[in-house]
Structure 1
Amino acid sequence: MKTKLITREGYNALKAEHDELWFKKRPEVTKIVTWAASLGDRSENADYQYSKRQLRQIDSRIRYLRKRLEDLQIVDYSPQQEGKVFFGAWVEIEDDDGQLLKFRIVGPDEIYGRTDYISIDAPMARALLKKQVDDSFVVQTPTGAKEWLVLDIQYPKLPATP
């Protein structure tokens, strides 16, 4: 089961996707379906068939987003997090070979299309929780255990809401 945590930025992005689909994309495709249906024989009408399929995909994504947005819990930055790794942190780590990684720990809904984000459900994120700068930790990988050192922890500072 996916974790239901999400950053405020991630939530806003999913909400924006929902609104784009519901208020812009869906009405456009619905117009095309209506126009294509008015042409008559739907069984050989490629515009109609393609647009109906597109409409089903949009509706499916809208249903998913509505259900998911309802279930998600937004996690905002809290000053108590400072100095330790928690949800929403940007973390820089290094292994024994000098390999550097920098990423942000976010919810599973936020990682798609991003190479600098990892899910809170990932073994690396789980191993990092509550660690501080200069702490070392071990992560089990498919090739065996690997040791890492925490170099830096930062939290994005969001503008205060009025």
Structure 2
Amino acid sequence: MQIVRTDVSRTTASTGEPVLRVLFCGEGGDCVTVDMASIEAGNDDAALDRARAILVQTATFGLAANDYEARSNGNFDEIAITTASDGNEGVYIFEYRDGEGSRQVPLSRMPSFDAAREEAIRCAIDLLVDLEPGTDALTGWLVRVRDERGELLCAIDVEEAEAARQLRQ
């Protein structure tokens, strides 16, 4: 979907809780809404970055879209580039630790390397919640960021993610 408009608003969920809502509208009238339960102080650009990350994670982790994807090893034939910015950004590949292996998500456009690294830290913090002592390795990398050629730019490990999580609380 080619994004033609985005809206960021603060609203109330049906449960009565405040949510931050990001609406992505595409050509042809298709729209996707992302509601984020925890409203953090920040600007609309930060909300857009977080909403894009949620969409990428939702689209990448979970159920396969078809039988081919279910049988695939994660190397799909189609690569989609997503964006909701002015085109002056860089292209990054996010790689997430998945048990003993890893998963790469489709290319993402981010405003800068700093924005990509910050997104990697936010995602690593989210992954910390899923780690189980005694079952999962509580060391090593959680999220890696690569450039469009596949060159490693940074890796966020468990220790860095935990330190960032504690700092943000």
- Specify the TM-score bucket, using the shorter chain as the normaliser: under 0.3
Report the structure, 1 or 2, having the larger helix content: 1
TM value normalised by structure 2: 0.25
Return the structure number with greater relative CO, CA threshold 8 A, min gap 6: 1
Report the structure, 1 or 2, having the larger strand content: 2
Which structure has the larger Rg? 1
TM value normalised by structure 1: 0.25
